[in-house]
Structure 1
Amino acid sequence: MIQTAKKFYTFEEYLSYHDDTDYKYELVNGELIAMPPASGLHALIMLFLFKQFDREIERVSLDWVVMPGNLGVRIAENKSRIPDLVIISENQRQAIRSMSSAVLESAPLLAVEIVSAGNPQDDYRYKRSEYAVREVPEYWIVDPIKSKVSVLRLVDGFYDLTEFTGNKKIESQTFPELALTVEQVFAV
């Protein structure tokens, strides 16, 4: 992960920050953290999951939208994360239409992070606790390094963890009828 010079930003400054690069930034305790471009595998997994979620939303006629990694989620006063994918409601989609910077103030229905070699602790530790505090009902950690998908469901303020590997069907409360295995996710 690339870090910029140490200057602390308010959430409002973060929303209006532009540095004329193609980098996306997360705000972590007032500090801008540049997100490096995704690896090819990371991008392919993200595209595959985007298509799977989008098809399932349409198949079941849900009033939801799947958004790729360009929508922020405000976690705390001076903290915002940019998940690889989020599922949001139609009301949330309408709300972001008028935003100058697309950052949700409310929790998405589902957040997905794809683990990168350089920062696995971010997804497994930090974002897990941050998304729980933000009350994201379901959080997926897709780990191509360990060939597993961890599904975390929020129960009484804490995440219950279920790990899926191989040809095991991924079980999701958000998408209970989704027919998807870990092998399919990593066969992209």
Structure 2
Amino acid sequence: MSPAPFVTHQMISYEIQKKLDYSCSSNYIILNSPVDLILSPSEVRHPDLVLIHRDRFDIISKRGIEGVPDLVVEILSPSSLKRDKIDKLKVYAEYQIPEYWIVDTENECLEQYTLQDNRYELINIFQEEKTITSTHIPCISFAMKDIMDKIPELRD
């Protein structure tokens, strides 16, 4: 069994979810882990956060998300680094998820990938007060500083 994510990971996920909920919940369904993202009978992933436009609500079932969401967010943990930056990057591109974010907790930044010719291209890295936006999801607008300022220092 894999270890649970660090508490900091969960706090960051919650803060991003709150920001997305505040600006996007009227148009998007926002789900957080644990949730099954069922891309095919043999390809099931568990992203940290997922956005699905309400017009595409039909891809959500009691079992999980059965289809391609609009955005997938992964928050790096020491145990997930390779899986999130290599394995999931390839799989999410293969299944044509339009946008993929990787949140690097150590560097307090968000890497934004968009699909270009069936591959992800890193189009931006957001740090500090730079406003995170998306051409695919226009309601998104927050900064990593807004997130990280709410995360307390925790003892080891």
- TM-score strictly above 0.5: yes
Match of 2:72 in 1: 111
The residue identity in structure 1 corresponding to 2:128 is G
Question: TM (normalized to structure 1)?
Answer: 0.71
Listed one character per residue, the Cα deviations across residues 91-145 of structure 1 (whole Å, up to 9, x for unaligned) are 5545534x3x22x231101000000012211111111111001111111101101
Separation in 1 of the partners of 2:138 and 2:147? 17
**Which structure has the bigger radius of gyration?**
1
1:54 paired residue among 11, 18, 21: 21
Separation in 1 of the partners of 2:114 and 2:100? 7
The residue identity in structure 1 corresponding to 2:142 is L
Listed one character per residue, the Cα deviations across residues 143-182 of structure 1 (whole Å, up to 9, x for unaligned) are 1012210011112211121212222222322333533112
Task: Give the paired residue count.
Answer: 149
Separation in 2 of the partners of 1:66 and 1:136? 15
| Cα RMSD for the two superposed structures | 1.9
| Equivalent pair of 2:103/2:109 in contact (CA under 8 Å) | yes
SS at match of 2:87: helix
* Range that drifts further, 149-158 or 88-97: 88-97
Mapping for residues 9-88 of structure 1, pairs under 5 Å = 34=2, 36-58=3-25, 61-62=26-27, 64-88=28-52
Separation in 1 of the partners of 2:78 and 2:145? 19
The residue identity in structure 1 corresponding to 2:6 is S
Structure 2 regions of 5+ residues with no counterpart? 151-156
| Equivalent pair of 2:24/2:140 in contact (CA under 8 Å) | no
Question: TM (normalized to structure 2)?
Answer: 0.84
SS at match of 1:125: helix
Separation in 2 of the partners of 1:96 and 1:173? 24
Large movers: runs of 4+ above 6 Å:
none
Match of 1:29 in 2: none
Tell me the CA shift for residue 76 of structure 1: 4.3
SS at match of 1:159: strand
Q: Which has the higher contact order (CA 8 A, sep 6+)?
A: 2
